Amino acid sequence: MSGRLAGRKALVTGAGRGFGRAIALGLARDGADVVVHYNSSQSGAESVATEIAGIGRTAHVVQADLTSWEQIAAMAQTAFERFGQIDLLVNNVGDVAPEQQSWREIDEHVIDRVLAVDIKGTMLTTHEIGRRMLDADGGAIVNVCSNVVVTGSARAPQYAASKYGVIGLTKSYAAAFAPSVRVNAIGPGYIETETTLEREDWRSGRREWVLERTPLGRIPGPEELVGMVVFLGSADSAHMTGGFVLCDGGFSMVGA
C-alpha cells in the first residue's frame, strides 16, 4: 500500500462484511484510522476493528440504522468526538433487494426499503458528516454507486432508481460542499461478495452470463476495487468532484 491516507480519519458504512469490510481494511493499510459502521453485523464489524488494530491503526465500531436521521446524526457525532475529525466518508451501504428475482415480484415494502437505505441513508449520512467536514478542515466523500445506472435493472427497477438517486446526491453535494469537500462516486458491476454468492440467480446461470459479457473476463472480489476508493479519497484525485467512475470490467462501456 502507498500510505496515501496516512494520518487521515475515515468512516465506512456497512463495514462489517462484503465490500465495506474490504474498504475499511484497505483504508487502514493505506494509513487511515477507521470508524467501522454496522447495522446488524456486529460480530463482523468487531472482527474488522480487530484486524485494523493488527495493521497498527485505530478503529472504533459504531452501530446505526441508516434509515433513521436520529441514529445517523448520533453516529456522526460519535465519529467526530472519538477522532476529532473525519477526513473521508465512504457511503458503502446499499440494498440491492437480493431476494427479488424479477420485476414481477415487486411489492411496496421492498420499494420503500431499498429507497430508504440507498437514497435517504446516503443523503443523510452525507449531510451529517459533510456539514461537520465543512466546519473543520474539509474532506472527501466517496459514494458506492453501481453500473446499474448505465444498464438499468429488469430484475429490480427500484434498485436502479435508487442508484440514479445516488448520482443526483453526488452531484448536488459536490456543488454544495465545494471547494473544501469533494464528493465522487464509483460504479462497480458485480462483485463476488458473500451476498452475491448467496443469490439464487448467481447460482443458476447469472454468473456465467455476466462473465460472457465482461471484456476483462473476470468478476472481481471486493479487494480488487478498494484502490479506486483510496484514489478518490486521497490527494491523487484533488481536482475531481461530482464525478462518477465506472469500474465494471468493461461490462457497460459508454461513450464520452
Count of CB atoms situated within 10 Å of the CB of 145? 27
Rounded Cα distance, 6 and 82, in Å: 18
169 backbone φψ class: left, alpha, beta (φ>0; ψ -120 to 50)? alpha
- Would you state the cell numbers that stand for residue 252, as one nine-digit string? 457497460
Q: Do 189 and 248 touch, CB atoms closer than 8 A?
A: yes
Q: No. of H helices and E strands in the chain?
A: 11, 7
Catalytic positions are: 159
Residue with cell string 496516512: 6
Rounded Cα distance, 30 and 23, in Å: 11
In 88-138, beta strands by DSSP E? 88-91
Which among 167, 170, 176 has a CA at the least distance from the CA of 134? 176
Q: Which helix (H) or strand (E) holds 94?
A: none
